[in-house]
Amino acid sequence: QVQLVESGGGLVQPGGSLRLSCAASGSGFSINTMGWYRQAPGKQRELVASTTGRGTTNYADSVKGRFTISRDNAKNTVYLQMNSLKPEDTAVYYCNVDVTRGGWSGLPYWGQGTQVTVSS
């Protein structure tokens, strides 16, 4: 009942910027925490940034000061603004939402993933 559609990935030079978007659609749910994860080849998926319904944010040390997570609750959309990109940021980025639906809370949903490649 909940679908996440990601967009905004692509190829960018070091020092460049990208903005990722993730829109949730469906019915009968409310979103709690929203976040972004990434996974590079041969590595484990890691949390990049997250934001609660109250606006509290959390960032991985590797992206702090360069990335900004934000959300538009009216549109059920979460964004990740990525500045000063580095080659080590290259990965598939996944959005994740934690929702309440049908009387159940803490249900996780994942986007399809979008490729971010940072290379000169």
Given a cut of 90, whether residue 102 has pLDDT beyond it is no
Please report which confidence band the pLDDT of residue 101 belongs to, taking 50, 70 and 90 as the band edges.
confident
Higher pLDDT, 47 or 103: 47
78 to 2, 10, 20, 44: CA distances (angstroms) = 14, 18, 8, 23
Contact between 39 and 46 under an 8 Å Cβ cutoff? The reply is yes
Q: In the predicted model, what is the mean pLDDT of the chain?
A: 95
pLDDT digits (tens, 9 = 90+) for 6-33: 999 999 999 999 999 999 999 899 999 9
CA quadruple 78, 46, 56, 1: dihedral sign: positive
At 50-70, the pLDDT tens digits run 999 788 999 999 999 999 999
Q: What's the chain's Rg over C-alpha atoms?
A: 14
